[in-house]
Amino acid sequence: RQLRAFLAVVETGSLGMASEALHVTQPALSRMMHRLETQLGVTLFERRTTGMELTAFGEALLPHATVLSAEGARALEQINALRGLGQGTLRIGAVASAAITVLPPVLDRFLTQWPNLQVQITEAVEDILETVLANNSIDVVISGPIRESPEIMQVEEHKFTDRCFVISAANHPLQKRRELAMQDLASERWVMPSEEAEPRKRFLELTNKLGVAPPRVAIETRYPAVIKAMVARTRYLGWLPEPLFAVEESAGLLKRLPVKHMALTRRFFVYRRRRSAMPPAVQRFLEALRTPES
């Protein structure tokens, strides 16, 4: 309770607004903060005319208080689930290909069996998923390779794979060529994920293996929808996993280009936090992931 009060003061910046958020009186909240500071033997806040400002001790406590508060909420969900309530929230992170290909049938089966659970999906590239998994914002990740660490562990490899291709507008002049090499694309403009994104890293690995200079990337974006729009409506080239442009390709808006040695097969893995107990909802989800479609 003291940690929740501490976080409320940090979030609102004042005792008055924090007491309203917590539905307690301001004197009661002040006593909670005083007891917490007494137990720790330090001052956590400086009272300013602009509001409550964290001291260095408060700054040091903040990340730990955030994690402990989140873990406490998750523990309560686990206890309720073990009591047979079957309630709670499962927070899944996935790269776009897995989100649109793997998750729909799995979640359909999963939520049919556990209808009182709620699922929240975060779609992002690997470097973002790594960060939000480590800071306890999600419970489980399906993605390409993520570095294991004291906070993150790999659970298993998933059977799903996809392939990345160079793509262009369906009416791009290069579509008239039956075969292309990366050298043929040296003068083209590209729209790509950022250099930190796993797909871009894999692209650069391929060009390095071929011994060719990376192409000029004029536009960087983390959003596949932006890449597809730029490619379909301009002469820009792009690089995406096939599941992300399959609909647009079927509609005749864009097509993969026959570029030699530039089709990449990606493997996918499941990750969770290392230091936390595995919630029942995560266990059930992993079981659903392993169950073949009927």
Instruction: List pLDDT tens digits, range 12-53.
Output: 888 888 888 888 888 888 888 888 888 889 888 888 877 888
pLDDT of residue 68: 75
Cα–Cα distance for residue pair 235/260, rounded to 1 Å: 20
> Both tokens of residue 31?
């006593």
pLDDT of residue 115: 87
pLDDT of residue 82: 53
pLDDT of residue 85: 44
Q: Give the residues of the chain that fall short of pLDDT 50.
A: 85
pLDDT of residue 80: 60
Domains of the chain and CATH, by start: 2-81 (1.10.10.10), 87-160+267-290 (3.40.190.10), 162-265 (3.40.190.290)
Q: Tell me which long-range contacts 207-213 makes (C-beta under 8 A, separation of at least 24).
A: 207/182, 209/261, 210/182, 210/261, 212/182, 212/183, 212/186, 213/186
- Are 154 and 264 in contact, with CB atoms under 8 Å apart? no
Give the H or E element holding residue 121. strand 117-123
pLDDT of residue 78: 61
The residue ranges of DSSP E strands in 130-260, in sequence order, are 140-143, 152-169, 190-192, 217-220, 238-241, 254-256
Is the pTM value of this prediction over 0.75? no
Cα–Cα distance for residue pair 229/277, rounded to 1 Å: 42
Instruction: Count the neighbouring beta carbons within 10 Å of the beta carbon of residue 266.
Output: 19
